Chains A and B, each alone.
Chain A
Amino acid sequence: QVQLQESGPGLVKPSETLSLTCTVSGDSISPYYWSWIRQPAGKGLEWIGRIYLPDDTIYNPSLKSRLTMSKDMSKNQISMKLSSVTAADTAVYYCARETPVPGQRWFDYWGQGTLVTVSS
């Protein structure tokens, strides 16, 4: 059974960088596409970006200038960094696995999510 677990600081100061890690168990991360998705309290879902290979990433244009995603095959982890955060970046952040079915981009496995609050 594939399991995803997000981790990182729950509180980040404005203008600083938000860093999160998703640890995957039950399968290797290497053959799959992995996305980050966030959800402000009481609001809908926003897709942040996805990574396959270290140089194969697609980012949401709304976040692209501030976003970096990476993979660590040795630790079976994916990570994201979002710079220059503001209160608008406060949300629950999820990592999710994209289905391996070619041409399909829906999410079959999700982490439980981690709340990140941006506040001084």
Chain B
Amino acid sequence: ERVMTQSPDTLSVSPGERATLSCRASQSVSSGLAWYQQKPGQAPRLLIYSVSTRATGIPARFSGSGSGTEFTLSISSLQSEDFAIYYCQQYDNWPLTFGQGTRLEIK
């Protein structure tokens, strides 16, 4: 099983600033990496797939990068609606696994 570890657990950033979230895989997941955003009481929403491809309707301030075992989600110029929990998911191997999440909070 590929264990996905996200860091930090909580990230405090001011609106308008940039946030950088990390996701590390215990073994290579190639380019099989997606990112989701989850707000309280809601289902996760797909942001990024294949490491760096934005899903339909996702603003350009969201970007993904990385390869192999190290991945990054960047959010430039944070908006109020961006404060949420973010999860990475690997889909290179079974079982599909998620990171534990990074809570992005307002500083």
Contact = CB atoms under 8 A, between A and B. Distances in A.
A14 interface: no
A104 B50 contact: yes
A30 B17 CA distance: 44
A44 B43 contact: no
A44 B55 contact: no
Interface stretch (B18-26, B72-80, B89-97): B89-97
Contact of B99 (A44, A47, A61): A44
Contacts of B91: 104-106
Nearest to A35: B96
A99 B55 CA distance: 11
B3 to A, nearest CB: 12
B49 A47 contact: no
Contact of A112 (B43, B96, B98): B43
Given A45-B44, A113-B43, A106 B34 contact: yes
How many interface residues does chain B have, given as a range? 20 to 34
A52 to B, nearest CB: 14
Given A104-B91, A110-B43, A112-B43, A44 B100 contact: yes
Contact of B89 (A43, A61, A106): A106
B49 A106 contact: yes
B100 to A, nearest CB: 5
A80 to B, nearest CB: 15
Contacts of B1: 61
27 contacts: A43-B100, A44-B87, A44-B99, A45-B44, A45-B87, A45-B89, A47-B96, A47-B97, A61-B1, A94-B43, A96-B43, A99-B49, A104-B50, A104-B91, A106-B34, A106-B49, A106-B91, A107-B44, A107-B89, A108-B46, A108-B55, A110-B43, A110-B44, A110-B45, A111-B43, A112-B42, A112-B43
